Structure formats: C-alpha cells, structure tokens
Structure 1
Amino acid sequence: MTTTQRRRPELAAFLRSRRARVTPADVGMPPGFRRRTPGLRREEVAQLSGVGVTWYTWLEQGRPINASPQVLDAVARTLRLDHPEREHLYHLAEVPYEPGPAGLAQQIEPEIQDIIDALDPHPAVVYNSRYDVLATNPAYRDLFVVPATIEVAAPNVLWTLFSVPEKDCPVVYRDKELPVMVATLRSSYGRHVGEPAWEDFIRGLSAVSPYFAELWASGEVIPPGPRVKTFRHAAVGELRMTSVSLSINGLPECRIVAYTPEDADARRKVAVLRERREKLWPPSDGHRTETAIADAG
C-alpha cells in the first residue's frame, strides 16, 4: 500500500472526528431539528468553507483529490482546528505545510534555559530565525562578549557581526562565514516577506553595513547546518569550534546552537575562559546579559 493510500483513510477519519465536535451554535447557525450527526453536516462544512459539497464529501471520504492550501485553510477555520491540527491536516492531505505569519518568539521558557545551562562547559545559545539572541549559557558568555548594540530591540547576532569593525569581529574567516549566515537568514525570510519587523531589520542592517547589503542582494539561500568555525578571543586567541543546531518543539523558528571544541587546543582555551567566568559574569547577573552577543550560527 502506498503512502497516499494509507493517509487518505486517516484524513477521512480525522475530518469526521473534527466535524463531529463543532456544533451549529459554534459557527452561528441555528441548531435545527432531527440532526442525526453530533456536529455539523458535510454540506454545512462545505458552505461555511466556500467549497462544493461534492468536493468536500470526496475529501472526507478519502478519495484521491487535490486540495490547495487556501481550501485547506478554509476547512481548518470552519472546523476550528488549532495549529497542530492544521499542520496534521496538511500532512494527511499531502500538501506542503507553511506556518502562518505569526510573530517570532522573543523569549523562551525556563525549561529551555535549564537545558542550555546543563550543556556547560559547551557554549550554547538560543535564537530565532532572524538571529535574535533569546538566551545564552555561561560558557557562551565566556566566549562571545562585545559592546551592547542599542539599535535593535533584542541582541542580534547579525547586527553585531556586521556593525562592529572588522578587527573586532569574533569570526576569523569573516568573508567565508558571514555569507553563510546571510544565506541562512534568507531561507527564513521567505516566510516573512512583507512583515514590517523583518523589512525594517533588512533595511536597517543594509544601511549600516554595505557588506550585508551586498550579500543580501546576491539572493543565496541555504538551511542551517553543522559547521566548524574559527573564533578569536582577546584573552586566549583563536579557537576552532564545531556548531550543531537543535530544533525546539513548540518554537518552530527557534533553535539551540551548541558548540564543542574541535581540538585539544580549543578545549584548553575554553577551560581558561571558564576560569575567568566569575570575574566577567558575576552571579548577580543571572541568566540575562545586557550586552549584544556575537555568534556565527
């Protein structure tokens, strides 16, 4: 049995179960008499969704018909599906799912902070798809410390890296690493084209950094992935670190990036930085940092 043949019965059962839980009163319709179904009728779902009764009937029967994202969204609204249910509907109908244009997360739950703190002595950071820094652990703050950036609402990796003088950039191979980061940013930008926060960010950073503007205009697109990067630190010199991105359930456009030393020299230097931690980051600072943190994603 093919994947499509397996999914269609699941789709039919899912739609029937969701339809059964929505009452006429939920959608502003009179209850009527002699209703044989606990929820809406098929023709009512079709009418409220703006689709043909026959088409919706075939969809709910699991027939091999095509559905567009617009039609699935209309059905999802009628059936009052939440975000996980809407995504499930898309998967069962074999339609590529794109999350709605919700705002990017700007904070995380304490449990996520506990997780990245537990990764110490490995540096770890949480940021969203625009590279806003949402949380860091002490080892990360050991490694990346630059003056505060006040032009953006939250510390932002790209803003920091492109706005500081090249000699102060913590990324050693700047001309190799920064294009990768901009291409990663563009891969997320497609979900947010036209949103004021994203357009203001791109426009503002392009004005601050001609180099960013040049890279942005190139149109390169790549997804995030593991990389070996070389960083510089005023106290210990250069360090080679491997970065790995980890997705976070419930925060689809956020990720944890954890770093591990690539060699014995980097491990020694990370240990040296850790020894200096109490001086650089007093315990009273807690989890939050008032400086912009530079990272190379």
Structure 2
Amino acid sequence: MERLTIDRHQQLAQFLRSRRERILPEQLGIPQGGRRRTPGLRRSEVAMLAGMSVEWYTYLEQGRKIQVSAEVLESLARVLQLDKDERKHMFFLAHRQHPLEERQQAALMVPGLQHFLDQMEAAPSYIIDERMNVVAWNAAFRAAYGDYQLINERERNLVWVTFTSPTFRKLKGEHWEQAAWSCLAQFRAGYGRSTEDLWWSEQIKELSGISEEFNEMWKRQEVLYAPEGHKVIFHPIEGKMVFEYLAFRMDVSPELQIIINTPVKGTETDEKIRRLVAKG
C-alpha cells in the first residue's frame, strides 16, 4: 500500500512524476519515435524543455532535498501545463513555509464574521480554517446540513465528515464522489502548505485506515484552492436543493475561508431553506 504520510520532497517528486506522465509528447510537438517504456514525457524531455539539466530534474523526481529557484519552477509549470492550482501547489511543496501556529478556534474568529454569516438568511454559509475544520456557520447551514454543534470538535472537519459520515453521503446522493474529490483536493493543497505540521500526517493516517475511497482519491495528487460552481444536496425533508457556491479568504484573517452557498433561482431552493430555518 502507498505510504501516505511523506515529507514535502517526496510529495513534490510524486506530483512532478504524475504530471509528467499525463503529458503526451505530441502535445508539445515531440515526435513519438520508437517505443516508450513509460507513459507521457521522458525526464530528459522535460529537462530540455524547461532549460535545466537532466540530472537536476531527476533529483527532483527522486525526492532529493535540493533547492530549486522560482524561475525553474515557472519553467516546469509551463512544460507540464499546470493549471493555477497545480502551480501554486508545486511552489508550496518546493519552497517550504513554516507550519501554522497552534491556535484555539476562538482565536481565529474575527469580530463581526458571525454577524456577517447570520445576515445571509437563505444562503447556507460557513467558515473553515486551514485544516478544513468548520469553525462557524449560520442558521441556513444548520438547516441544510445539520447541526455541527452536535459533532465533537475533533470530527468537525469537512474531510472527516465527507469520508466517514453516512448522513453526509446520503445528503449528497449521486453527487457524493464529486463533492469528495473537491474536498480532498482542497485538503491536499492545505497539506502542501503545512507538511511539517504533524496534525496533517496523523489525520491522513487515520482516514486512510477508515476509508478505502480516501486512499484511492488521495493517490490522484489533485489540488484545488478556490472552489466555485454548483452544489446539489438531497434534504430528508425538503428534497433536492441546488446552490451556487463561492469560497474566498479575507486579508484580515487569511487562515480562514468563507464558503457561501446561494440558492439557484428557479429551483425553489430559496423557499425550502427559509421553511427549514423557520422550523428551527
């Protein structure tokens, strides 16, 4: 079984390898030539196109603890056709940041944020920290997703709920897999920023022992920083509800991410949420 809790150099090695293997030579104008032993590009081809030595690139894919410049990383991002989230993830893995300080959840909350959430009466909204712990929510969120106050703080985590809660799986229905992918891709992005924080390794190890689906998805090396789009849930009382969601951070507290789910017009979601909130 794949070793799940690895240092950032090995993470970078696996990530680069997975991205190299998905690029077809013809995408970059390279003739196929003879038979290839590996999928995608060869290491030598990546190195040539990125303007670096084969030896140096090989060191990166071997997980060696070497320093690499931002210019080289930019070249690799171009050659490997990384999107903005993948590029950001690669930079965090290559250029270590200090782990986040341990803080009480209450200390993370900026005065006024709860009031901000409460003003969105028909938009289930919540706040998560860097570890994807849910630290605040409004009445609409509680009506749609259940009361997180009833979940112990240790398990009040989006990844934990997604992969261990039968209630959440039923709520997402046929859309569970997409929701799980998005959630875990955000989690990996956070892990890339904080690999020296032992909490992440412990969480990954525990979830890997509980969920085979977590194991399988974790190996995909997917990353996502600012999710947006549509979200569907199947509420046990009101049935299908459709939201347009947006996630953003604020300069005053970049550790926190606010997620707002706005009811999609024409789906009766707004009316359904208001009825649920009114019932308490």
Q: TM-score, normalization: structure 1?
A: 0.56
Amino acid at match of 2:215: A
Residue in structure 1 matching 2:195, options 186, 193, 196? 193
Which of these residues, 258, 272, 277, is aligned with residue 274 of structure 1?
277
| Aligned residue number for residue 226 of structure 2 | 224
Per-residue deviation, 1:167? 7.8
How much does 1:149 deviate?
4.3
Partner residue, 1:153:
154
Report if aligned partners of 1:122, 1:258 keep a CA contact under 8 Å in 2.
yes
Question: In structure 2, what is the Cα distance between the partners aligned to 1:117 and 1:100?
Answer: 34
Correspondence for 1:103: 101
The offset of 1:255, in angstroms, is: 0.8
Measured at CA, do residues 98 and 119 of structure 1 come closer, stay the same or move farther in structure 2, by a change above 3 Å?
Answer: farther
In the TM superposition, residue 251 of structure 1 has moved relative to its aligned partner by: 2.1
- Tell me: CA distance 1:168–1:276, structure 2 relative to 1, closer, same or farther (3 Å): farther
Pairing partner for 1:254 from 229, 253, 256: 256
When you count helix as a share of all residues, which structure comes out higher?
2
Letter matched to residue 266 of structure 1: T
Q: Secondary structure at the match of 2:172?
A: coil
Secondary structure of 1:114's aligned partner? helix
Structure 2 contact 158–183 (Cα < 8 Å) conserved: no
- State the AA in 2 paired with 1:187: A
Tell me what 2:144 maps to.
Answer: 143
SS in 2 for 1:193: coil
Distance in 2, matches of 1:254 and 1:146, equals: 20
Deviation at 1:221, TM superposition (A): 1.4
Deviation at 1:168, TM superposition (A): 4.6
Please tell me whether the aligned partners of residues 248 and 257 of structure 2 are also in contact (alpha carbons under 8 angstroms). Answer: yes
Q: Counterpart of 2:242?
A: 240
SS of the residue corresponding to residue 154 of structure 2 reads coil
- Give CA-to-partner distance per residue, 1:212-265, whole Å, 9 cap, x none: 111111111122221101011111011011111121223223111011111332
Contact 2:189 2:224 in 1 (8 A): yes
Name the amino acid aligned to 2:145: F
Contact 1:149/1:160 (8 A) holds in 2:
no
Distance of 2:229 and 2:118 partners within structure 1:
22
- Corresponding residue of 2:63: none
1:273–1:98 Cα change, 3 Å: farther
Q: Distance in 1 between matches of 2:206 and 2:262?
A: 33
The AA in structure 2 aligned to 1:100 is H
Aligned residue type for 2:257? R
Name 1:16's counterpart in structure 2: none
- Taking structure 2 as the reference length, what is the TM-score of the superposition? 0.59
Cα displacement (A) at 1:192: 0.9
Percent identity over the alignment is 23
Counterparts of 1:56-135 in structure 2 under 5 Å? 100-103=98-101, 106-107=105-106, 108-135=109-136
8 Å Cα contact 1:125/1:140 also seen in 2? yes
CA distance in 1, matches of 2:170, 2:196: 30
Q: Distance in 2 between matches of 1:254 and 1:197?
A: 17
Matches of 1:233 and 1:201 in 2, distance apart? Answer: 29
Aligned to 1:286: none
